Structure 1
Amino acid sequence: MNATDWNTEVYGQAALEDRSAQRQRINIPATLRPSGGQSFKTVVLDLSLGGFCANAVQRIPIGNRCWLTLPGMESLQADVVWWDAGRVGCAFANLLSPMAHDNVLARYRGDGVFRRL
């Protein structure tokens, strides 16, 4: 199974709409703030240039705008594409730059430990 198969199998075609870049499974502590709501701590479980999947115990409605803040980065605006069983899938309003994406992946090896470059 490759990096995108699990999203497609579990969440259907919505996981690939306009965000077909390969997703990297990671484990990054972050903050997520839904529009009109309080920010909360989360863990980003996968990341691509076009979006992310993160833990979200409370349901966030599809289409809701939110902001993701990763360590060492400014908030990234995104829209909720799906929510299921405590996980949320979001599409970034603007694609993440390949350099920012690669830097995030270089700082994390799936263990949630931040490393300065």
Structure 2
Amino acid sequence: MQQVIPGSWSFPSEFGTPFLSGELTTEVHPSSELTSRKSERVSLEMGAGLRQRGGTGVAIQILDLSTDGFRASTHLQLAKGTDVWLRLPGLEPYQARVMWAKGNFVGCAFERPLHPAVLDMIVKKSGRP
């Protein structure tokens, strides 16, 4: 729901500067970066392996997963644009690219999307209801 409050300009003010009283709205528009997801994310907690190019695999915790990517907790310091390979239980490694990193959290996009049936299988294996 949007509420619009009309207004007007007044000049000069008692402080020698113009006052702006314009139209205000209570509608919030989140940035497109936050709303531009290609597919729905599934929240889950699951251990997995992650490897950087030329590196050895380390254990990470997957926090959410979709056909297009994942969010994870890791001790690695990964920069945006880094290529990584995610090893989910029972599957071959999937190549992904780090899209953002903040503290111990990273968000990665798969180079090729997971098939929806594969995502369903992973979710079931995670024990998520």
Range of TM-score over shorter length: 0.7 to 0.9
Which deviations, in whole Å up to 9, do the C-alpha atoms of 1:29-60 show, x marking residues without a partner? Answer: 10000123332101111000000011122210
Aligned pair in 2 of structure 1 residues 82, 23: CA closer, same or farther (>3 Å)?
A: same
Structure-2-length-normalised TM-score: 0.70
User: RMSD over aligned Cα, in angstroms?
Assistant: 2.0
The CA distance in 2 between the partners of 1:81 and 1:73, in whole Å, is: 22
Name the counterpart of 1:29. 47
Structure-1-length-normalised TM-score: 0.77
Name the counterpart of 1:94. 112
Task: Give the aligned residue type for 1:66.
Answer: V
Identity fraction in percent: 33
Matched, 1:44 2:69: no
- Greater Cα offset, 27-36 or 68-77: 27-36
Q: Which runs of 5+ in 2 are unaligned?
A: 1-29
Matches within 5 A, 1:1-117: 13-14=32-33, 16-17=35-36, 19-110=37-128
| Larger RCO: 1 or 2 (CA < 8 Å, sep 6+) | 1
State whether residues 15 and 89 of structure 1, in contact with CA within 8 Å, keep that contact through their aligned partners in structure 2. Answer: no
- Normalized per residue, which structure has more helix? 1
The CA distance in 1 between the partners of 2:83 and 2:35, in whole Å, is: 19
Q: Which runs of 5+ in 1 are unaligned?
A: 1-8, 112-117
Which deviations, in whole Å up to 9, do the C-alpha atoms of 1:14-33 show, x marking residues without a partner? Answer: 4554x421101111110000
Moved segments of 4+, more than 2 Å: 12-17
State whether residues 46 and 53 of structure 1, in contact with CA within 8 Å, keep that contact through their aligned partners in structure 2. Answer: yes
